[in-house]
Amino acid sequence: MSSKGKILLVDDDPDFIEIHKTILENHGYEILTATNGEEGLKRVRTDMPDLIILDLIMEKHDAGFSFSKEIKKDHLFKNIPILMVTSVAEATGYRFSMKEDGYWMKTDDFIDKPVKPEILIKRVEKLLSKGEENKIE
Amino acid sequence: MNKKQVHILVVDDEFGIREGCKRALSEDGYQVDSANDGSAGLQKINKRSYDLILVDLMMPGINGLKLIKKVQKIDSEIILIVITGYATIESAIEATKSGAYDYLPKPFTPDDLRTVVKRGLEKRNLRLEALQLYKEREQRLLELTNEKSRLQTIIRCMADGVLVINLQGQLVLWNVSAVKMLHLTGTDKSGLSLEHYIKNKSVIKSLKQILDSQDSDCSMMTREIEVDKKGSVLMAKIAPILDKKNRILGTVTVLSDITKLKEIDKIKSQFVSMVAHEIRAPLAAIEGWLEVVLSDESREDNTQNKKWLNRAKERSHALLDLVNDLLTINRMEAGKIAQKMETVKISDIINKIVEFLMPEAQKKNISFKIHIPKDLAVIQADKADMEKLFTNLINNAIKYNKKNGKIIITVKKDESYITTRIEDTGVGISSKNIQHIFDDFFRVEDETTEKISGTGLGLTIAKRIVDSHLGKIEVKSELGKGSVFSIFLPYSPKKKKRM
């Protein structure tokens, strides 16, 4: 494989798809995109990405959650790490944290929008290496 | 009692006794009259009231006993004292039985007379006082009854629910509003336990909780109670009823229905969090683009950087539009801008807007067809509102149109309305989405609209403007073929104030 990994971006904001795509492609990842949950699920089933970067708020306010639940209950896909990005956390004064919400958010990590390129890359690398460990087990 | 105001009557056929009594009592300061037989006595009694009457039992004509009975009928509070010889002591006792207060056996000394009269008058005072007290009590009871019925009327008419519960937890008073709010049953009897009236266990539980936590120091407490699954919420204000020694006798609960307020509050916080998200999203995108440029993801490719900065600018421009729309809505809601009703020519406004938006339309090679009759009547409207309204609608017709599409604007008049139809050949709106298009922040989001930016408030504002001019806005659409917006505006809306 020439790329460092296949990443699916699910976001209804075309700007973020492009921003993240630019950064990640620059760092040698292969990028797939989807603008809503439904399309995202289709992509997961047909292209089997190594990592999913998911926007919390899509067409419906809980679309991000139901998408990740859908993925995590499927044996084939549950090991795909999901990185949740959101612009909702600070704005609503409600902070999500892996400690408190991780168990039901069923995502592997999350960061606030906008994401600094170097942080995005670090998180992605970390999640992908964890994914590798899971596979070996 | 002032002696001068005390009137005494002596009825005796013996002149000596009459004069003797009169002298003795007058000396003491009493007002004394006399009569020499029963009928003369009666005449006097009928003319004025006496406090005390001395009656000789043995008189010709109407004798003393008869006189006593008659006086008793006239005024039972007059003190009657019988004057009698030894021989008639038994009849004196008889007289006492028929209502005489005391008797004075002949012969008697002035002091004997004074003592008996004094005692009699004291008795009379006591009787009068008792009578007065009795009357006052009656009056108070009457007032109390009036007060009670007034209070009941007030409580009955209250829109707030009222419950009075005694120390034993029994419901002793309530009103119709409380019946409605808590769905009370079996209210034909009072004084039973709460469970008898309220079937909903959670309501009983919360009421009891509040009642139990009540202590005499606390003057009032407030709680929210959820009544049913439909989401009715009551605000319960509970206060103890205390006696003079601050002991709790029971509690009064006043219930107000705050379901509507709760709903409004929810809508408001939803709106705020929506606005927050709508503003945060573009800001995050702008920062995202700046971040990509600053961290040199383009590898010093200036053309690429410029492209990205332009994307950031597009988002910041859209954000500015959003803030402007929000301000417009805020002004409309607060009624801060009074409408200035003036004579407006719809045709002028439409032509001006079309000209202004022409460059945008030309980018997609969209052509306009405008049909406006020359003799079109003017309408009374706020010019700035009209410009905003038609800008939003024509702008939508351009934005959601296809390349090489058409926009047909037709203005017609009938008896009471000027009707403007704006027809486009754009993406159309599905029947699922069409019911939401006037909602705050609603935007149709699918493949066909993802490249189109908008605030989601344009149609919200348009509808509010039309509403405030007492008009009507309608939409018909077919997915993939286009939409038609029809705006009906009355020639001169009577209402001057906005909403």
Reduce the secondary structure of B32-51 to three states and give it as a string: EEEECCHHHHHHHHHHCCCC
Q: Which residue among B276, B287, B450 sits closest to A91, beta carbon to beta carbon?
A: B276
B315/A contact by beta carbon, under 8 A = yes
CA max distance for chain B: 149
| Contact across the interface for A16 and B273, Cβ inside 8 Å | no
B145/A contact by beta carbon, under 8 A = no
Q: What is the pLDDT of residues B148-184, one digit of tens each?
A: 899 888 988 888 999 888 888 888 888 999 998 888 8
Which residue is listed with tokens 């040199």? B296
Long-range contacts of B267-275 (CB under 8 A, 24+ apart): B271/B440, B273/A91, B273/A92, B274/B440, B274/B441, B275/B326, B275/B441
Indicate the pLDDT class of residue B413, thresholds 50, 70 and 90: confident
| Contact across the interface for B445 and A59, Cβ inside 8 Å | yes
What residue in B sits closest to A115 (Cα-Cα)?
B288
Structure tokens that stand for B47 in this block:
């003319």
Write out residues 58-97 of A within 8 Å (CB-CB) of B.
59, 87-88, 90-92
Residue B175 to chain A, least CA–CA distance (Å)? 43
Residue B367 to chain A, least CA–CA distance (Å)? 29
| Contact across the interface for B292 and A22, Cβ inside 8 Å | yes
pLDDT average, residue stretch B303-309: 93
B195/A contact by beta carbon, under 8 A = no
Q: What is the pLDDT of residues B430-439, one digit of tens each?
A: 888 888 888 8
Query: Residue B425 has what pLDDT?
Result: 92
| Contact across the interface for B277 and A91, Cβ inside 8 Å | yes
B309/A contact by beta carbon, under 8 A = no
Which range among B6-10, B125-129, B203-207, B306-310 shows the weakest confidence by mean pLDDT? B203-207
Q: Which residue among A16, A19, A88 sits closest to B277, beta carbon to beta carbon?
A: A88
Structure tokens that stand for B278 in this block:
């709508």
One-character DSSP codes across B102-155: EEEESS--HHHHHHHHHHHHHHHHHHHHHHHHHHHHHHHHHHHHHHHHHHHHHH
Share of chain B above pLDDT 70, in %: 93
- Whether A6 and A50 have beta carbons less than 8 Å apart is answered as yes
Q: Which residue has the higher pLDDT, B232 or A130?
A: B232
| Contact across the interface for B292 and A57, Cβ inside 8 Å | no
Virtual torsion, Cα B318, B319, B321, B324, nearest 10 deg: 180
Indicate the pLDDT class of residue B367, thresholds 50, 70 and 90: very high
Query: Residue A134 has what pLDDT?
Result: 53
Indicate the pLDDT class of residue B227, thresholds 50, 70 and 90: confident
Share of chain A above pLDDT 70, in %: 72
Instruction: State the ipTM, two decimals.
Output: 0.76
Chain B positions in Cβ-Cβ contact with residue A26 (cut-off 8 Å) = 297, 299
Residue B356 to chain A, least CA–CA distance (Å)? 28
Interface test with B, best of A11, A13, A15, A116 (most B CBs within 10 A): A15
Residue A25 to chain B, least CA–CA distance (Å)? 10
| Cβ–Cβ pairs < 8 A, chains A and B | 68
What backbone torsions phi and psi does residue A86 show, to the nearest 5 degrees? Answer: -150, 150
Indicate the pLDDT class of residue B4, thresholds 50, 70 and 90: low
What residue in A sits closest to B273 (Cα-Cα)?
A92
Computed on alpha carbons and rounded to an integer, the radius of gyration of chain B in Å comes to 48
A35/B contact by beta carbon, under 8 A = yes
What residue in B sits closest to A37 (Cα-Cα)?
B446
Cβ atoms < 10 Å from Cβ of B97: 8
Residue B259 to chain A, least CA–CA distance (Å)? 24
Write out residues 460-489 of B within 8 Å (CB-CB) of A.
none
pLDDT average, residue stretch A11-31: 90
Q: What is the pLDDT of residues A57-98, one digit of tens each?
A: 665 556 677 788 888 888 888 888 888 887 655 444 444 555
B301/A contact by beta carbon, under 8 A = no
A41/B contact by beta carbon, under 8 A = no
A118/B contact by beta carbon, under 8 A = yes
Query: Residue B122 has what pLDDT?
Result: 92
Indicate the pLDDT class of residue B483, thresholds 50, 70 and 90: very high
Query: Mean pLDDT: which of B59-68, B71-80, B223-232 is highest?
Result: B71-80
Query: Residue A136 has what pLDDT?
Result: 42
Residue A134 to chain B, least CA–CA distance (Å)? 31
Structure tokens that stand for B211 in this block:
């009642």
Interface test with A, best of B272, B275, B283, B292 (most A CBs within 10 A): B292
Residue A1 has pLDDT above 60, yes or no: no
Q: Which residue among A26, A35, A91 sits closest to B297, beta carbon to beta carbon?
A: A26
Residue A16 to chain B, least CA–CA distance (Å)? 6
Dist CA B392 CA B353 (whole Å): 10
Encoded amino acid at B265, one letter: D
Burial class of B376 by CB neighbour count within 10 A (0 to 12, 13 to 18, 19+): middle
Residue B233 has pLDDT above 70, yes or no: yes
Query: Residue B313 has what pLDDT?
Result: 92
Q: What is the pLDDT of residues B318-363, one digit of tens each?
A: 899 888 888 888 877 766 556 778 888 888 899 999 998 998 889 8
Dist CA B399 CA B364 (whole Å): 9
Residue B323 to chain A, least CA–CA distance (Å)? 16
Mean of the per-residue pLDDT values of chain B = 85
What residue in A sits closest to B450 (Cα-Cα)?
A14
Which range among A18-22, A88-92, B129-133 shows the weakest confidence by mean pLDDT? A88-92
B277/A contact by beta carbon, under 8 A = yes
Residue B192 to chain A, least CA–CA distance (Å)? 48
Indicate the pLDDT class of residue B447, thresholds 50, 70 and 90: low
Residue B496 has pLDDT above 50, yes or no: no
| Contact across the interface for A114 and B451, Cβ inside 8 Å | no
Chain B positions in Cβ-Cβ contact with residue A91 (cut-off 8 Å) = 273, 276-277, 279-280
Q: Which residue has the higher pLDDT, A16 or B61?
A: A16
Among candidate residues B115, B102, B253, B131, the one with its CA nearest the CA of residue B181:
B253
Dist CA B211 CA B239 (whole Å): 9
Residue B395 has pLDDT above 50, yes or no: yes
Indicate the pLDDT class of residue A102, thresholds 50, 70 and 90: low
